[in-house]
């Protein structure tokens, strides 16, 4: 089930509906660009191992969203910078916990969840701050 969050006032209800439709999209490749209104999203789907999912695998999508018109510069930046972030999620044994934070966790699991969440957030912030 896809989930997404858009800050109130960031986009209109019509664009929120378009984003929701895009999330249900089944692209023929793992990488695709979507332009909705004045927002461009560079998207890369990937999988991680997950004991919490049917088939022990989850499909995730990393998106780089900007209000710029699509450009080769932004695309190359996203593809270069997304690799290490995706590799982190794929090699981290319990990374699926971050995508199920609504669950009940033991104290040990919560400690792992918090560490992975903080590391993930830091990696994403570094990626965003490096794009100028």
Q: What global pTM score does this model have?
A: 0.77
Q: Retrieve residue 101's tokens.
A: 């934070």
CA distances from 57 to 34, 48, 77, 96 (A): 25, 6, 27, 9
CA-based torsion, 98, 14, 79, 49: positive or negative: positive
Residue by residue, pLDDT tens for the chain (132 residues) are 455 555 555 667 777 677 666 666 666 789 999 888 888 999 999 999 998 888 899 989 999 989 999 999 999 999 999 999 999 999 999 899 888 887 788 899 899 999 999 999 999 999 988 987
């Amino acid at each position: 089930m896809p989930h997404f969050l858009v800050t109130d006032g960031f986009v209109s209800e019509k664009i929120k509906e378009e984003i929701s439709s895009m999330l249900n999209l089944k692209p023929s490749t793992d990488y695709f660009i979507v332009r909705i209104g004045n927002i461009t999203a560079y998207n890369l789907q990937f999988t991680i191992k997950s004991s919490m999912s049917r088939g022990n695998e989850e499909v995730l999508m990393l998106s780089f969203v900007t209000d710029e018109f699509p450009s080769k510069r932004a695309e190359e930046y996203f593809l270069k910078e997304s690799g290490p972030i995706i590799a982190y999620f794929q090699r981290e044994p319990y990374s699926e916990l971050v995508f199920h934070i609504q669950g009940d966790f033991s104290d040990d699991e919560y400690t792992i969840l918090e560490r992975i969440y903080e590391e993930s957030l830091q990696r994403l912030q570094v990626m965003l701050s490096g794009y100028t």
